[in-house]
Structures are given as C-alpha cells and as structure tokens.
Amino acid sequence: MGSVTEHGGRESEPRDVFRLPGFLAFWTAESVSGLGNQITTLALQVLVVVTLSGSATDVGLVNAARWLPYLVLGLVIGALVDRRRRKPIMVVTDLGRALLLGLIPLLWALDRLSVPVVVAFVAAFGLLSLLNDAASQSFLPRLVPRSSLLAANARLDQVGAVVQTSGPAVAGGLVTVLGAPLAVLVDAGSYLFSAVTLTRIRLEESTTQVRRASVNLWAEVAEGVRWVYRHRTLAPQALSTHGWFLFNSMLVTVFVPFVLVGLGLTATELGIALAGAGVGALVGSLLSTRIGMRWGAGRAVIAARLVMPLGWVVIALAPADGDRWTTVAVLAAGQLVYGFTMGAENANEMGYRQAVTPDELQGRMNTTMRSVNRAMIVVGAPVGGLLADTLGYRPTMWIALAGFVVVALLLAASPFRHARHDDGTP
C-alpha cells in the first residue's frame, strides 16, 4: 500500500527487499550470527557461575566488559569506519570473533580459563562487535536504495524477534547437552558462517565512497557529533533515545529480581514471561513498514513510545498473590505490548536516520548514537538496582515509567513528529 505525501501524491511501496541483489546474503549472515550471540550470552554466564565458580560480581564484570569499548572508543571507531570499505570490516571482524570464541573451549580444555581471562576475551569481542556494528549499519544504505531502508530494517527486526523468542531455549538446550564451554563453540561457527556468507555479496564499494584519511581524526569525530546533535530531526530523536535507554535499563534491571524474588516465580516461569516480548516484537516488526509508510517515521516512533509504558504498567500491577499462572500470563501480556512497540519502532527509527544521513557520515552517526545509548545503560542499570533496593521494585518501576512518558512527550513536541522516510530521498 502507499501513503499520501505532503504534495498529495502517493509513495510507492518498496519492492520486496529479498529480491534486491545481496540483501538475502546480508540478512542470512545477520540472522545466523544473531542466533549464535544468544547462545553465547547465556553460555558465558553459565560458564562464569558454574564452570568457573564465579560470583554475581564476576558476571557483572563480564557483562560490563562487553560494552566498555563502546564507551571508550565508539566515536573514534565511527570515524575510522567512514574511512574504509565496510564489507571487508564486517568479514574480518566476524572471523576475529569466531577465533576468539573458539579459543575459550580450548583454554578450558587446557585448564587455563579463569574469570579475568573471560573478561579480557569479552572486552576484545566487544571491540570487534563495535567495529562490526558500525560497518554493518553503515553498509546497509549502500546495499539497498534509501526508499527500501524501512523495509530492509523491518526484515532484520523480524528475524531478530524470532531469535529473541527461540534463542534462549536453543541456548539452554545446548548448554545442557554440550556444557557451557562447547556451547560457545557453536557461536564461533555462526560467525564463521556469517563471514563466508558476506563474501558472496557482489557489491563493489567505489573509491569515491571511501573518505580520504584526514590529518585530524578528532575533527572528523566532531563533525559526526555535530551532524547528529545539530540536525533538526536527528537531534531530538537522539536525545529522546538516550533518555529511553536510561529508563529502559532501569526497568530491565528491576524486572528479573521483581519476578524471581518479589513475585516468587521460577526461572522457567520467568522465561515464559520474557517470551512474550519476542512474540510481540515479531508482530510489531511485521507491521512496522505499513505503519511507517502510512504515518511517517516520526509519528510511528512517537506512537510506539507513548504506548510502550502501558506494557510496563501491566507488569507493575502483576499480582503477588493468587494463581501463579495468572501472574505469569499478566507478565507475558505486559512483555507482549513492550515487544510489539519495540518491533514497530525500531525499523522506522533506524530506516529514517540511515536515510537522512549522507553516506560519508553513516559510521559516525551510528556510533555516536550507540555509544551514548550504551553509556545510559551503564548509568541506568545500577541506578535502577539501587532504587529497587532502597524503595522497592514497584516504586522504581513507576519512576522509570514516568521517565518513559516524559521523553516520549518531549519527542512528540519536537520537529521529529513531522519526519518522513522520504526526507532523505534526493
């Protein structure tokens, strides 16, 4: 279906992106490595706690190491990626991640694995992931036309939602059957598969698309920051997203202890409740293209962020007494709404910011936003935990919910509400 433009015409719906040369290979690589990442996320935590007899603090250090490169090097990496062809970066970093993960079971077999070694490996893995993310998100606008970016991101979100729903179950089964160290080896294979698949993409990135190295790298970093935070529509979108990550990290931090301790449910019941988010995300991503074309990127994102708090209201009101499965159903319903809004929003947000950003600034735009978003997680997660320990789980949820509403209303009052996906089309 089409959507009415400001000039009274109708936008043509982008053709199925799977028919675009190279996109199927890109989608396949992202899908397989995404499933592998789900396996490693669970396997590493089990590895630290069970295999290495680590503490909760050790698990926290391992998780923090994953995002540390984004905080320290994110802006610089964006500038460096904009100087290089992006497909080779994706292939090399996938091979590097496969090698790193393959060494973990080897060191375990040699009795040379320890928590500090795992932390170091995860930090190195995070650096390679930072490079890969910057290149991947910046490569997509070269692979598909700007008019198809919304549909392309929606396709990626759809498989991401399936992985989010099924990944934990697959990971749990592999960890149970193979053990945590060998389960990590499966993820190593997924990155190797991804690297080989990416080499099949026949897209030559011309020399005109590669920036000549500047004498002053920091000038290029500053140029990317200025592009994001001085842009009429990207700036309010970026600031609102930073706030969203802050309050979302508080809610995500509180959710697990709220369910396990506050409501007294089991880990299995927690998993069932969390699966609701994956189902909702799949439905939202399936509808995201239609919503974005009809409403425009700005209104689609704003609507999703205004509805999202309702899912957490349902969760915050989950009964502590009574039938356990009723409580699980309430939690799953809240997660369903939460996942649906994220699925409907993400493709519209990503597609829009890729469409309005010039090719030579794609890497810096993506890493600027992602680095600050990750910084918000580093701040919000411990704040959420501290508030929960001090005030209780439900009061902390209401505080974060109020933050959700504020950042959504501020975005609705900004020029971003008029953003449309054809804003970046020449």
Confidence band, pLDDT 50/70/90 cuts, at residue 6:
very low
Task: Let me know whether 196 and 239 are in one domain.
Answer: no
pLDDT at 157 > cutoff 90: no
In a domain, 301, yes or no: yes
CA dist., res. 403 & res. 172, Å (int): 34
pLDDT at 344 > cutoff 70: yes
In a domain, 155, yes or no: no
Confidence band, pLDDT 50/70/90 cuts, at residue 50:
confident
Phi, psi of 322 (to 5 degrees): 105, -165
pLDDT at 383 > cutoff 60: yes
Complete DSSP assignment for 84-122? S-HHHHHHHHHHHHHHHHHHHHHHHHTT---HHHHHHHH
Mean pLDDT of 330-355: 92
pLDDT at 215 > cutoff 60: no
- Mean pLDDT estimate for the chain: 84
The C-alpha R_g of the chain, in whole angstroms, comes to 21
pLDDT at 7 > cutoff 70: no
pLDDT at 12 > cutoff 70: no
| 403 vs 150: which has the higher pLDDT | 403
pLDDT digits (tens, 9 = 90+) for 265-293: 876 787 788 888 888 988 998 899 899 98
The parent domain of residue 358 ranges over 216-426
Number of Cβ within 10 Å of residue 60's Cβ equals 14
pLDDT digits (tens, 9 = 90+) for 52-100: 887 656 766 776 778 788 888 878 887 788 778 889 999 999 999 999 9
The pLDDT assigned to 394 comes to: 94
Task: Let me know whether 138 and 229 are in one domain.
Answer: no
Number of domains in the chain: 2
Task: Let me know whether 283 and 400 are in one domain.
Answer: yes
pLDDT digits (tens, 9 = 90+) for 389-414: 889 889 999 999 999 999 999 999 99
Task: Let me know whether 280 and 195 are in one domain.
Answer: no
Confidence band, pLDDT 50/70/90 cuts, at residue 145:
confident
The pLDDT assigned to 322 comes to: 77
In a domain, 10, yes or no: no
Task: Let me know whether 302 and 398 are in one domain.
Answer: yes
Q: b or e along 90-120 (b: 16 or more beta carbons within 10 Å of the residue's beta carbon)? A: bbebbbbbbebbbbbbeebeeeebebeebbe
Task: Let me know whether 399 and 311 are in one domain.
Answer: yes
CA dist., res. 370 & res. 180, Å (int): 29
In a domain, 310, yes or no: yes
Task: Let me know whether 263 and 198 are in one domain.
Answer: no
Confidence band, pLDDT 50/70/90 cuts, at residue 15:
low
| Sign for the pseudo-dihedral over CA of 256, 257, 260, 263 | negative
Mean pLDDT of 362-381: 84
Mean pLDDT of 176-194: 87
The pLDDT assigned to 57 comes to: 61
pLDDT digits (tens, 9 = 90+) for 226-270: 999 999 999 999 999 999 999 998 898 788 788 878 898 876 787
Residues with Cβ within 8 Å of residue 121, at least 6 apart in sequence: 100, 103, 104
Burial class (CB in 10 A: 0-12, 13-18, 19+), 323: exposed
- CATH classification at residue 335: 1.20.1250.20
The pTM (predicted TM-score) of the whole model is 0.74
Mean pLDDT of 172-180: 78
pLDDT at 8 > cutoff 70: no
Per the DSSP assignment, residues forming a β-bridge with 4 are: 10
Task: Let me know whether 357 and 250 are in one domain.
Answer: yes
